[in-house]
């Protein structure tokens, strides 16, 4: 069974740029997997951030952007702020269903 892979953790300095990735244990991620990204702060409900690879949901700051980089989907934060520290999950559409990555815990310090 194909696994969706994400970095377990990442750290970025305030004002810095960071790119989180979403890959496959076998194969490459393309736009045909309709990558989406969800932010979850501890104890809170997940919030939809990016869908269809690079479309920001309503209210998401434009410092967040989605793309395909090489063989992975990517979420880039440009000019990170302290409250961007959260868990970020990617989801790929595969085989008629959805598969979550394991999530990346982003620390801003």
Partner 1 sequence: QVQLQESGPGLVKPSETLSLTCTVSGGSISRYHWSWIRQPPGKGLEWIGNIYYSGSTKYNPALKSRVIISVDTSKNQYSLKVNSVSPADTAIYYCTRWFDHYYYMDVWGKGTTVTVSS
Contact in structure between 88 and 74 (CB atoms under 8 Å)? no
3 binds partner 1 (CB under 8 A): no
> Within a 10 A sphere around the Cβ of 16, how many other Cβ atoms?
12
Nearer to partner 1, 4 or 12 (CB): 4
Catalogue the long-range contacts made by 69-72 (C-beta closer than 8 Å, 24 or more residues apart): 69/19, 69/21, 70/28, 71/23, 71/24, 71/27, 71/28, 71/29, 72/21, 72/22, 72/23, 72/28, 72/29
| Binding window for partner 1 (CB under 8 A); candidates: 14-22, 59-67, 73-81, 90-98 | 90-98
> Residue with structure tokens 């595969």?
94
103 binds partner 1 (CB under 8 A): yes
Contact characters 18-47, partner 1, x per CB under 8 A: ----------------x-x-x-x----xxx
Residue selected from 75, 89, 106, 108 as contacting partner 1 according to rule CB under 8 A: 89
Point out which residues bind partner 1 (CB under 8 A). Answer: 1, 34, 36, 38, 40, 45-48, 51-52, 55, 57, 87, 89, 91, 93, 96-103
């Amino acid at each position: 069974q194909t696994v969706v892979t994400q970095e377990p953790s990442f750290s970025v300095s305030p004002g810095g740029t960071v790119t989180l990735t979403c890959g496959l244990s076998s194969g490459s991620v393309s736009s045909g997997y309709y990558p989406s990204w969800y932010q979850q702060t501890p104890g809170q409900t997940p919030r939809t951030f990016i869908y269809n690879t690079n479309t920001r949901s309503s209210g998401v700051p434009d410092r967040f952007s989605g793309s395909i980089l090489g063989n992975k989907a990517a979420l880039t934060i440009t000019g990170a702020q302290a409250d961007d520290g959260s868990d970020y999950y990617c989801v790929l559409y595969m085989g008629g269903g959805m598969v979550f990555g394991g999530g990346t815990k982003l620390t801003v310090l």
